[in-house]
Amino acid sequence: MRGEYRVKGAKNSALPILAAAVSKPGIHEIHDCPRIGDVFVMEEILRSLGADTCFEGNCLRADTRNMEGTVVSREIMSRMRSSVFLMGSLLARHGEATVHRPGGCRIGRRPIDIHIDGLSQMGFCVESRGEEIRCSGRCRGGRVRLPYPSVGATENLMMAALSGENETVIENCACEPEIADLQGFLRTCGFDVTGGGTSRIVVRGFSKGTHASGGAAAGDTMYFIVEDRIEAATYMAAVLATGGRAVFRNIRTEMLEEVLGVFKRMGAAIRSFDDTIEIIAPEKLKSPGIVVTSPFPGFPTDCQPQLMTLCTAAGGLTTIREEVFESRFTHKKELAKMGANIDICGKNAIIKGGLPLKGAEVSAADLRGGAALVIAGLSAGGETDVRDIYHIDRGYENFDEGLRQMGGIIERRTCD
Ligand code: UD1
């Protein structure tokens, strides 16, 4: 694969930011918003609560002025884990929220105990009845320390704290760039949030009238979503897997330091300038040795499946240790159908690389695992059929088209 690709706006920013648009009545213009399945589900949620939304190109316009709903249906919650963000944003807006235990990619147990315990510590009343969770009240402020830097819990608690009368300090937060981006959006809305992107976030609630346009007062916002570092890494992995060379625009190296470090260990040549990164595949990929996934700035778990595909082509033994989710190796079985030699041993995947992959019929079981299978198909001899690509469409906008633009031989077929 060769060519140029402009990286789109980040899925993992768009979802919490769209939920956060509920916190403030107004017309929100969210630019660089990816047109992906999960964003469409978030639009449906906002509409079910009384918002108007529409896309113009990659700008999503959400009018949240007349939203009155506080209940997110069980059916819609089962379709996407990010629906859980409505707990925080509805609490900020209305002081009450009824949600259900969320669904999403089946990559581990994915409980929401950190979200619920955090809300309780902040003074909200949280009642669970079966799958239903009812929350109400106002944030009383104070200090909350997360037992683990959960990305979603950090974002949910940031939003819930907006309703507080006092200052809320959230410690041991996740530091992912998408959290700094959510903070950027909230600040654009007039809320007083600092520390996003570090392990300590301070939110000053709006009940005291600490700011002119924030809180429940109406106002319009325009915001540009940060670039999708995972989308960029996925396309880069496709370029490396096919022995190619490409230039990526709208992506900064600081978003991807660990990933680029691993690609370099595999022999890739990488040059960067401002928000452009050029990546050139080596003659033959080398094993990166041991790679361990961890919260930002560590190697992202969302790039682990794509890396596993790359390592099947790399000479030598690679160990990938998955430390974030318990069952995120579902793509292993499918890669094995294509001739990959991978052993799973607890949290470790041991890949004996260097064997050429061959085309096969495989199924995507989750979003990133599905992308990894497409990359495997592009690099394998013969034809590969990847089924259940709705998983991929949840998180990549026109993935097949993007790959085709860069020389990937791929087509989308509708099966009965
Ligand atoms: C977010 C990302 C997802 C990414 C993940 C880790 C979004 C929309 N999704 O998911 O793409 O893979 O971060 O970088 O931003 N956990 C608990 N209890 C909780 C919450 C989480 O035990 O209440 C555990 C999870 O099961 C998991 C780990 O913490 O093992 C990390 O989860 P978390 O950081 O919350 O991920 P998400 O926000 O769901």
The pLDDT of residue 17 = 98
Q: How confident is the model at residue 104 (pLDDT cuts 50, 70, 90)?
A: low
Nearest CA to ligand 1 atom 29: 150
Please report the pLDDT score of residue 416 as a whole number.
65
Q: Which two tokens stand for residue 41?
A: 């589900």
> How much is the pLDDT for 209?
44
**Catalytic pick among 33, 105, 135, 173:** 105
Atom of ligand 1 nearest to the CA of 82: 8
Average pLDDT over residues 222-247: 98
pLDDT of residue 207: 62
What is the pLDDT at residue 415?
77
Return the residue whose CA atom lies nearest to atom 7 of ligand 1: 12
For residue 34, whether the previous peptide bond is cis, meaning omega lies within 30 degrees of 0, is no
Is 222 a residue whose pLDDT tops 60? Answer: yes
pLDDT at 168 over 50: yes
Task: Classify 368 as helix, strand or coil.
Answer: helix
Backbone torsions φ then ψ of 306, nearest 5 degrees: -65, -40
Whole-number Å distance, alpha carbon 380 to ligand 1 midpoint, is 32
Index of the ligand 1 atom closest to the CA of residue 152? 38
Q: State residue 105's pLDDT score.
A: 58
Q: How far apart are CA 115 and CA 337, in angstroms?
A: 39
Please state, rounded to an integer, the average pLDDT across all residues of the chain: 94
Lowest mean pLDDT among 26-35, 76-85, 221-230, 312-321: 76-85
Evaluate if residue 250 carries a pLDDT over 80: yes
Write out the DSSP string of 101-153: ------SS----HHHHHHHHHTT-EEEEETTEEEEES----EEEE-SS--HHH
User: What is the value of pTM for the model shown?
Assistant: 0.96
Candidates 101, 114, 117, 151: which one to mutate for ligand 1, based on the most atoms within 8 Å of Cβ?
A: 151
Q: How far from 177 is each of 131, 183, 281, CA to CA, in Å?
A: 31, 10, 27
* Alpha-carbon span 308 to 109, nearest angstrom: 22
CA 110 to ligand 1 center in whole angstroms: 7
Residue with the smallest CA separation from ligand 1 atom 12 is 302
Instruction: For residue 218, name the pLDDT band (cuts at 50, 70, 90).
Output: low
Segment 16-36 mean pLDDT = 97
Alpha-carbon distance of 7 to 231, in angstroms, equals 7
Between helices 113-121 and 151-160, what is the axis angle to 10°? 30
pLDDT band, residue 214 (cuts 50/70/90) = very low
Do 182 and 140 touch, CB atoms closer than 8 A? no
105 a catalytic residue: yes
What pLDDT, on a 0 to 100 scale, did the predictor assign at position 165? 77
Q: Spell out where 186-274 has E strands.
A: 192-194, 200-204, 221-224, 245-249, 269-273
CB neighbours (10 Å) of residue 222? Answer: 12
Kindly report the number of other CB atoms within 10 A of residue 64's CB atom: 24
Q: Relative to the CA of 325, which ligand 1 atom is closest?
A: 30
CB 197 within 8 A of CB 180: yes
State mean pLDDT over 34-47. Answer: 97
- Closest residue by Cα to residue 169 from 207, 200, 210, 123: 200
Q: Which of 18, 36, 110 to mutate to test the pocket of ligand 1 (most atoms within 8 A of CB)?
A: 110
CA geometry: angle 199, 203, 208, nearest 5 deg: 165
Pocket of ligand 1 (CB under 6 A): 12, 15, 81-82, 108-115, 148, 150-153, 174, 178, 301-302, 324-325
Torsion of CA 213, 42, 235, 228, to 10 degrees: 10
Q: Percentage of the chain with pLDDT > 90? A: 88
In the structure, what pLDDT confidence band is assigned to residue 213 with cuts at 50, 70 and 90? very low
Mean of the pLDDT values across residues 140-150?
A: 96
Structural contact between residues 402 and 377, judged by C-beta atoms closer than 8 angstroms? no
